[in-house]
Structure 1
Amino acid sequence: MLDAVLIQQCADPSLRPAIVEQFIIRAGSQDPLAVTVRSGNRVVLVPKPTTTEEALALIRDNLGRNTVRVGVTQYPAGLGIVEAGQLKPEMVEPCENIRMGTALFAKVFRIVSKWYGNPTAKEVMPQVMDDAVIAWQTGYFEGVAVFRADDPGEVKPAGPLQDPLDDGNDPADTEGDKSESKPSADAVVSDPNKASIRIDLTGIGGRQ
């Protein structure tokens, strides 16, 4: 089980800890050195790395030829990298991987939620989460390459949604419901490592 303290310290603040945990359970790995290589729909068998150096070497060997996912969040290793020499060891460091992965997943969720019309009904949100996880795993949603697409902006499911692990006394929720704004085109964040738009994802399939 992923350390709750690690989630709290490293995950993108726009995602509640229960959502981060669910995301990693469904789409990630408990092994920070995990490297998954795919060629199309086929998983390529590769040696399991035991050190950071081995993991980075494995990633370098497959970038440009195969799809490579790495670390706790199974982050797309080739995103934003022109050549293998640009890889950084931090990619397989648990906290940094969680920071990068959850920021990017938050954008993916916003893309999926916008397609659904930014729903607030509790019954719809699990389907949004399901599709967001699938989009993370495949890299596509409704023909859109979600990792490279523009961030559609803030998604704020408000109303009766409630995270089962939340006591309902989060002052940030009250403050967040006071105003709504639409980001201008200049405010769109396309870099997953600089995403700062806050989302309230309360009530999406939290685990008891």
Structure 2
Amino acid sequence: MDAALIAKCADPTLAPAIVEQFISAVGSDDPLAVTVKADGRLVLIPKPRSPDEAMGVVKDYVGHAIVRVGITQFPAGVGVGDPSQLRPDMFDVCSNLRTGTGIFAKVARIVTKWYGRPTNSELLPQLVDDAIYAWKTETFEGDNVFLANDPGGPTFMNTASEEPSDDDDRAEPAPESEDSSQSAEPGEAAEAGMRIDISRIGGGR
């Protein structure tokens, strides 16, 4: 991805290298990309040829299925009660990058807080892998990361979005369950030492 575009549009609390890794792992080369999943299954849809066609698909499925859009494939319609409130700029590259990385930064803060906000840089790859996996599955430690409140504090080991509360300062890392390594799916995320309990997660990655 173009460095100038990242500098202009991406969430400033995310390092450019992490933005590139995030887009590479979850994104699309097509700004008009729409991915629809219902009951864990991919719904085949015609490839949109214009923002209007893409918006039409989104409005048809939001509220009935999981709809991911644009280059970051962020979930459309989260927190939107009426499809008419959806904005067509979600298919603009800069706007999509801004929104998608902003949501991913929140996911990063959720993951970072769970780990006790570590400062050991050797843990950064594991934090990023866990955040990307949470983005793909929508879930981290049994909670929907897109609906969860932003805990504030550091985004991975970068800058802070806001000052943490007193309760946040006392947060300790959650203990790893004895069978956590066995509950994780095989693959790169598990090899990175992922500590997400995915036993309650349905569907694929």
State the TM-score, normalizing by the size of structure 1.
0.74
Q: Return closer, same or farther for 1:41/1:156 CA change in 2, 3 Å cut-off.
A: closer
Q: Distance in 1 between matches of 2:67 and 2:156?
A: 32
Equivalent residue letter for 2:76: A
Alignment match, 1:121: 120
Q: Distance in 1 between matches of 2:75 and 2:86?
A: 12
Q: Is the 8 A contact 1:118 1:156 kept in 2?
A: no
Q: Distance in 2 between matches of 1:157 and 1:76?
A: 22
Q: Secondary structure at the match of 2:11?
A: coil
Alignment match, 1:100: 99
Q: Distance in 2 between matches of 1:7 and 1:19?
A: 11
The answer to whether structure 1 residue 45 and structure 2 residue 27 are counterparts is: no
Alignment match, 1:198: none
Root-mean-square deviation (CA), in Å?
2.3
Mapping for residues 65-104 of structure 1, pairs under 5 Å: 65-104=64-103
Q: Distance in 2 between matches of 1:112 and 1:20?
A: 16
Q: Secondary structure at the match of 1:69?
A: strand
Q: Distance in 2 between matches of 1:50 and 1:4?
A: 27
Q: Is the 8 A contact 2:10 2:101 kept in 1?
A: yes
Q: Structure 2: any 5+ residue segments left out of the alignment?
A: 168-205
Identity %: 52
Equivalent residue letter for 1:182: P
Q: Distance in 2 between matches of 1:40 and 1:28?
A: 21
Q: CA deviation at 1:156?
A: 6.2
Q: Is the 8 A contact 2:106 2:155 kept in 1?
A: no
Q: CA deviation at 1:84?
A: 1.4
Alignment match, 2:176: none
Q: CA deviation at 1:69?
A: 0.3
Q: Structure 1: any 5+ residue segments left out of the alignment?
A: 159-172, 186-208
Q: Secondary structure at the match of 2:35?
A: strand
Q: CA deviation at 1:183?
A: 3.8
**More relative contact order in 1 or in 2 (CA 8 Å, sep 6+)?**
1
Alignment match, 2:54: 55
Q: Return closer, same or farther for 1:34/1:156 CA change in 2, 3 Å cut-off.
A: closer
What do the CA deviations read for 1:73-103 (whole angstroms, capped 9, x no partner)? 1011011211211111111111011111111
Q: Return closer, same or farther for 1:12/1:42 CA change in 2, 3 Å cut-off.
A: same
- Deviating more after overlay: 116-125 vs 48-57: 116-125
Alignment match, 2:164: 182
Equivalent residue letter for 1:93: D
Q: CA deviation at 1:123?
A: 2.5
Alignment match, 1:109: 108
Q: Is the 8 A contact 2:34 2:58 kept in 1?
A: yes
Q: CA deviation at 1:122?
A: 2.5
Q: Distance in 2 between matches of 1:49 and 1:181?
A: 42
Q: Distance in 1 between matches of 2:155 and 2:135?
A: 20
Alignment match, 1:135: 134
Q: Return closer, same or farther for 1:59/1:184 CA change in 2, 3 Å cut-off.
A: farther
Q: CA deviation at 1:133?
A: 0.5
Q: Distance in 2 between matches of 1:130 and 1:50?
A: 33
Q: Distance in 2 between matches of 1:183 and 1:50?
A: 46
